[in-house]
A and B are shown apart, each in its own frame.
Chain A
Amino acid sequence: MKNRRTTFLSDTKWLLSEFAKVFYNPIGVAGGFIDATRGWKFSRIWWRVWLHTPFVVLLCSAYGASSASLFRSVESQIQALKVESEGRCTTVRLENNCNEIYESDFSKAVGLSQVLPDKPLEPLSELTIRNVELFARRAISVDPTNQDAHFRLALIYLLSDRNEQGRSELQLLASGKFGVFPQASAWLAKDDIVRKTRGEDVSLVLLMSHLEQASQWKDCDARLLYAYSYFLQATGDVVKSTVLANKASIANPEFNLHLARLYALQKDEKSLRATAYVVEDVFGKRLNSKMEKDADRLAVAEVKKLTDRLEEAETVLQEGLDLRPSSMELRRELSEVQRLLYTKSILQREDGGVDADLILLEKAGTTDPSNPNIISDIAKLLPMKIKPTKPLMELLKTQIAAGKTNVQTHLLLAQGFVLMDNMKEALKNWEIVIAKEPNNVGALNNLALGLAMDSPANCDRSLALISKALELSPNNAEFLDSLGDILVIAKRPLEAINKFELAVRVDKSRVQTRRKLVRVYQSLGMEDMAKTQSRVIEMIESQKTKQ
């Protein structure tokens, strides 16, 4: 132990003395360093070192090569990737291929004809899709905010039937996280519209927001602008809708038709006329050619109609129908134009009566007997106290028998028959209304009252019908009044008083109901009550007179 301690102390002393030489004899220590270096150099077996060196150099080269990429700027890497990727498949090609998938559904959704390329596009090979995806993902890994790469990736997802992923990429772009990118919004809007027509759940607010952003894009698909304009028109923003329609019509002159409709809505005659000429020019040049379609003739006829040139519209449509008699669209539109001509022929006489050229209505009926508007027009004749002609009556009967008439028509017919004191026919029409629409409260009320008035024997059914009407529309003063009437007919005056009182409580200004109350009070010998009610009637009437 003692020996060890002595060795340790002497070694430490020796080491300290050697370190001390650094300060008092640095030149000597430097010489020692040079000697050590020489000693190191001469003591190596250099052939062995040189033998191993190439492998060490190779390893270092691999690391050097790997590190070289670290010095490349992000922009340079992105640029190189973009060039490579575009070399495999251009973004335009990707968009075109995506468009091809969407075209059919989208055109159907916006109600326009498909815009098909001259030649059908070759589908992208699996290898191309995989490589483009690889480049896009690589570019994103280098620069996560690269919009082009995200967009290409989204298109690849859509092309390879990975719609959810594609949508999420587009949503990321449309969110504006990486800057403005309206293309993404345009695609999302297109996708939303297609999905909506397929019956999928699509948020209208989001769709409008996508359309708004897409409309900012200078190369936005005119059909999207049209769709946005259409939605805006539906929401009542006609001014903005017109601006967008104008933009769409610049990109595609066919959208002038929609623009004309909007001008007509705003009653801007000057702009309407100018736009109508463009429409006639655009669609008219295809008429009587091999390229002619029903849509062209319908467009020309529509602008003529909007600019009040109904006779010209009729001629255009008639020509089309002569060429293609089986075209139901042309037939219906021609019938509509003829119906409008009939509407224009309706004139109010000085004595309060009405004159109408029923021949025109007959003509419209002959053109398209299934046009429901004609049946409505026939129904409207009765309230105007115009007797329909035999052909019109025949048409009406045929349509009723075929069950092609609508509820509105039957309500009008019933109203007309009441005015013509033909209660039986009126009752028949209300019955049809209730058969078609069991919860139509107006028809229930009218039928209940009509049946009771027709025969007291019908009172039970009348009460059932009016009770249903009151169930559907409780505390309705009109229905309570009808119930009172039916109860009077059913000889239940006390209950009738109760219902009339309820009716006037709901609507205090019902003078007719109060008069009925007076009559029932008097019939039951309740003179005081009758007098009080009469005074109220006088007060209401005097107030009305003052007003």
Chain B
Amino acid sequence: MNELNANDIADSTATEVVRKKPSAWVEILFLSLFAAAVAAGWRFWADWLSVRDQSFFTFCMIVGLCVAMVRSSREGEVTAMRLWIGSGFYAISAIALALSFGSGSAIASVFALGFAILGWGLIRFAGESPQHAIGLGLVCLLPLAISNLVSTEWLDWLESTAVAFTSRLADTFGMSHVREESRILFEKGIADRFSCQGSWDSVIAFLGIALACILGFRRNFIPAIATLLGTVAIWIALRGCVWVTLVYLGSQNETWVAWSPGLELVALGLGALFIVNWDGFWGSIFEPIPFEYINADFPLVAFLWNWFCSLPKLAVRVPHRETDFGPTEEDF
């Protein structure tokens, strides 16, 4: 970089990547590992998919991954990583699978599945940074993370927060109610327990939509985090608003209101609309500044912004020009 003169504009991290194309064995090995992992973790997957919102979450995840793959393959032919690194993940998957068969652990089988997909993604995903490809692969471990979260107090906390939000909203609109742990009793109706799981409008279903957006639109780390956190916020707000509206309508006709599957689907649809827009909004905001708009003499701020927006990709392209403070025309 030091060799460039003041009039040259250069890329800070311009490196040409040339990698081998994967053979058919990669697919065969992947499919074998995939089938074995699914067979080993059959009980886990049966349990997981038996719940409506969790199966919806899985569906969203698969759709997202497929879209991400199709889109990434359009952007280039260079695979994300060298073949041997992907094979390394296959090896880890095989070890996890062996552990699963040996100990009967469903968790190990889910890990095996995750690492198999991760390895496959690293070899197959073209036009992606290695970090991004790892991120996409790790998504496959999310069911395991969520199934662990369900058994913790996290969902209770979330329910409590949702109830608190609804209570405050009802207060603002002058609706009489009383809160009983995770239930709200309204004057003309009772809000059932705020369900974080199990229904169409659960937070898990909402997170599934968010995941489909993140994968499908191939969001970077920061917009992805903004979308996931925003999804939880949307779920809380939507549940509260729908309840307050329902109770308001119910009190007008002096009838009791009740949550129904139809209402769940409406809430899910509304939630999807909000999530897509929320994701689009932050995706647009956190776009890197294009190369041609960056001041080549003082690229620091643009560099930091682009680095921040491009996470988990660490290498960022910014133009720069060496400033030469040599003798000026006046010196002659």
Q: Give me the interface of A with B, judged by CB distance under 8 Å.
A: 7, 10-11, 14-15, 18-19, 21-22, 25, 28-29, 31-33, 35-36, 38-40, 42-45, 48-49, 51-56, 58-59, 62-63, 65-70, 72, 77, 80-81, 84, 131, 134-135, 137-138, 141
Q: What residues on B are CB-neighbors of A67 within 8 Å?
A: 168
Q: What residues on B are CB-neighbors of A65 within 8 Å?
A: 169, 172-173
Assembly CA distance A122 to B277 (angstroms): 55
Question: B42 near A: Cβ within 8 Å?
Answer: no
A69 touches B320 (CB 8 A): no
Other A-B contacts than A35-B302, A36-B301, A52-B284, 19 sampled, CB-CB below 8 A, are: A18-B300, A18-B303, A29-B301, A33-B301, A36-B305, A40-B289, A43-B289, A43-B293, A44-B284, A44-B285, A51-B280, A53-B281, A63-B165, A66-B168, A66-B169, A66-B240, A80-B174, A138-B176, A138-B177
B305 touches A40 (CB 8 A): yes
Q: How far is the CB of A138 from chain B (nearest CB, A)?
A: 4
Which chain B residues in 204-250 approach chain A with CB under 8 Å? 230, 233-234, 237, 240-241
B 294-320 binary contact with A (CB < 8 Å = 1; else 0): 110111111101000000000000001
Q: How far is the CB of A175 from chain B (nearest CB, A)?
A: 23
Known A56-B277, A138-B176; contact A29-B298, beta-carbon cutoff 8 A? yes
Jot down 7 A-B pairs with beta carbons below 8 A, ordered by A: A18-B299, A39-B302, A43-B290, A51-B277, A53-B281, A56-B277, A84-B176
A21 touches B1 (CB 8 A): no
Q: How far is the CB of B240 from chain A (nearest CB, A)?
A: 7
A70 touches B168 (CB 8 A): yes
Give how many B residues have a beta carbon under 8 Å from the other chain's beta carbons: 47
A14 touches B281 (CB 8 A): no
Known A137-B178, A141-B178; contact A39-B169, beta-carbon cutoff 8 A? no
A55 touches B273 (CB 8 A): yes
B300 touches A22 (CB 8 A): yes
Q: What residues on B are CB-neighbors of A29 within 8 Å?
A: 298, 300-301
Shortest 10 CB-CB contacts between residues of A and residues of B: A32-B298, A39-B293, A69-B171, A55-B277, A52-B281, A35-B295, A36-B302, A62-B237, A36-B301, A39-B289
The chain B residue with its CB closest to the CB of A42 is B293
The chain B residue with its CB closest to the CB of A25 is B298
Q: What residues on B are CB-neighbors of A18 within 8 Å?
A: 298-300, 303, 320
Q: What residues on A are CB-neighbors of B187 within 8 Å?
A: 131, 134
Question: B264 near A: Cβ within 8 Å?
Answer: no
Known A39-B302, A134-B178, A134-B185; contact A28-B297, beta-carbon cutoff 8 A? yes
Partner of A14, one of B1, B273, B277, B287: B1
The chain B residue with its CB closest to the CB of A37 is B301
Q: What residues on B are CB-neighbors of A63 within 8 Å?
A: 165, 233, 237
Question: B147 near A: Cβ within 8 Å?
Answer: no
Question: B179 near A: Cβ within 8 Å?
Answer: yes
Partner of A55, one of B171, B278, B301: B278
Q: What residues on B are CB-neighbors of A49 within 8 Å?
A: 281, 284-285
B278 touches A59 (CB 8 A): yes
The chain A residue with its CB closest to the CB of B180 is A137
Q: How far is the CB of A118 from chain B (nearest CB, A)?
A: 31
A36 touches B289 (CB 8 A): yes
Known A22-B300, A62-B241, A69-B168; contact A43-B284, beta-carbon cutoff 8 A? no
Q: How far is the CB of A518 from chain B (nearest CB, A)?
A: 90
Q: What residues on A are CB-neighbors of B274 within 8 Å?
A: 55, 58-59
Q: What residues on B are CB-neighbors of A14 within 8 Å?
A: 1, 12, 320
Q: What residues on B are CB-neighbors of A68 within 8 Å?
A: 168, 172
The chain A residue with its CB closest to the CB of B169 is A66
Q: What residues on B are CB-neighbors of A38 within 8 Å?
A: 293
Q: What residues on A are CB-neighbors of B168 within 8 Å?
A: 66-70
Q: How far is the CB of B265 from chain A (nearest CB, A)?
A: 19
Question: B23 near A: Cβ within 8 Å?
Answer: no
Known A40-B289, A43-B293, A59-B233; contact A32-B171, beta-carbon cutoff 8 A? no
Assembly CA distance A48 to B277 (angstroms): 9
The chain A residue with its CB closest to the CB of B173 is A65
Q: What residues on B are CB-neighbors of A77 within 8 Å?
A: 171
B300 touches A19 (CB 8 A): yes
Assembly CA distance A45 to B283 (angstroms): 11
Assembly CA distance A137 to B178 (angstroms): 6
Question: B7 near A: Cβ within 8 Å?
Answer: no
B 253-278 binary contact with A (CB < 8 Å = 1; else 0): 00000000000000000000110011
Assembly CA distance A72 to B13 (angstroms): 55
Assembly CA distance A456 to B60 (angstroms): 115
The chain B residue with its CB closest to the CB of A14 is B1
Assembly CA distance A8 to B138 (angstroms): 27
Q: What residues on B are CB-neighbors of A56 within 8 Å?
A: 277-278, 281
Q: How far is the CB of B85 from chain A (nearest CB, A)?
A: 15
Q: What residues on A are CB-neighbors of B287 within 8 Å?
A: 43-44
Q: What residues on B are CB-neighbors of A138 within 8 Å?
A: 176-178
Known A48-B280, A59-B274; contact A32-B290, beta-carbon cutoff 8 A? no
Question: B15 near A: Cβ within 8 Å?
Answer: yes
Q: What residues on A are CB-neighbors of B289 within 8 Å?
A: 36, 39-40, 43
A32 touches B241 (CB 8 A): no
Q: How far is the CB of B288 from chain A (nearest CB, A)?
A: 8
Assembly CA distance A47 to B165 (angstroms): 32
Assembly CA distance A268 to B289 (angstroms): 104
Q: How far is the CB of A282 from chain B (nearest CB, A)?
A: 48
Assembly CA distance A462 to B285 (angstroms): 117
Known A14-B320, A39-B293, A62-B241; contact A28-B281, beta-carbon cutoff 8 A? no
Q: How far is the CB of A18 from chain B (nearest CB, A)?
A: 4
Assembly CA distance A134 to B180 (angstroms): 11
A59 touches B284 (CB 8 A): no
Partner of B298, one of A35, A40, A59: A35
The chain B residue with its CB closest to the CB of A62 is B237
Assembly CA distance A52 to B227 (angstroms): 13
Q: What residues on B are CB-neighbors of A55 within 8 Å?
A: 273-274, 277-278, 281
Q: How far is the CB of B8 from chain A (nearest CB, A)?
A: 14
Which chain B residues in 161-194 approach chain A with CB under 8 Å? 165, 168-169, 171-174, 176-179, 185, 187
Q: How far is the CB of B294 from chain A (nearest CB, A)?
A: 6
Q: How far is the CB of A64 from chain B (nearest CB, A)?
A: 9
Assembly CA distance A40 to B288 (angstroms): 8
Known A43-B290, A44-B287, A134-B185; contact A59-B237, beta-carbon cutoff 8 A? yes
Q: What residues on B are CB-neighbors of A59 within 8 Å?
A: 230, 233-234, 237, 274, 278
Q: How far is the CB of A88 from chain B (nearest CB, A)?
A: 9
Q: How far is the CB of B147 from chain A (nearest CB, A)?
A: 28
Assembly CA distance A232 to B177 (angstroms): 46
B277 touches A35 (CB 8 A): no
Q: What residues on B are CB-neighbors of A134 within 8 Å?
A: 176-178, 185, 187
Q: What residues on A are CB-neighbors of B177 within 8 Å?
A: 134, 138
Known A36-B289, A65-B172, A69-B171; contact A7-B15, beta-carbon cutoff 8 A? yes
B 1-18 binary contact with A (CB < 8 Å = 1; else 0): 110000000001101000
Give the residue among B173, B301, B303 with the most A Cβ atoms within 10 A.
Answer: B301
The chain A residue with its CB closest to the CB of B234 is A59
Assembly CA distance A40 to B286 (angstroms): 9
Q: What residues on A are CB-neighbors of B298 within 8 Å?
A: 18, 21, 25, 28-29, 31-33, 35
Q: How far is the CB of B32 from chain A (nearest CB, A)?
A: 34
Assembly CA distance A421 to B274 (angstroms): 114
The chain A residue with its CB closest to the CB of B275 is A55
Q: What residues on B are CB-neighbors of A39 within 8 Å?
A: 289-290, 293-295, 302
Q: What residues on B are CB-neighbors of A135 within 8 Å?
A: 176
Known A29-B298, A59-B233; contact A52-B280, beta-carbon cutoff 8 A? yes
Q: What residues on A are CB-neighbors of B277 within 8 Å?
A: 51-52, 54-56
Q: What residues on A are CB-neighbors of B297 within 8 Å?
A: 28, 32
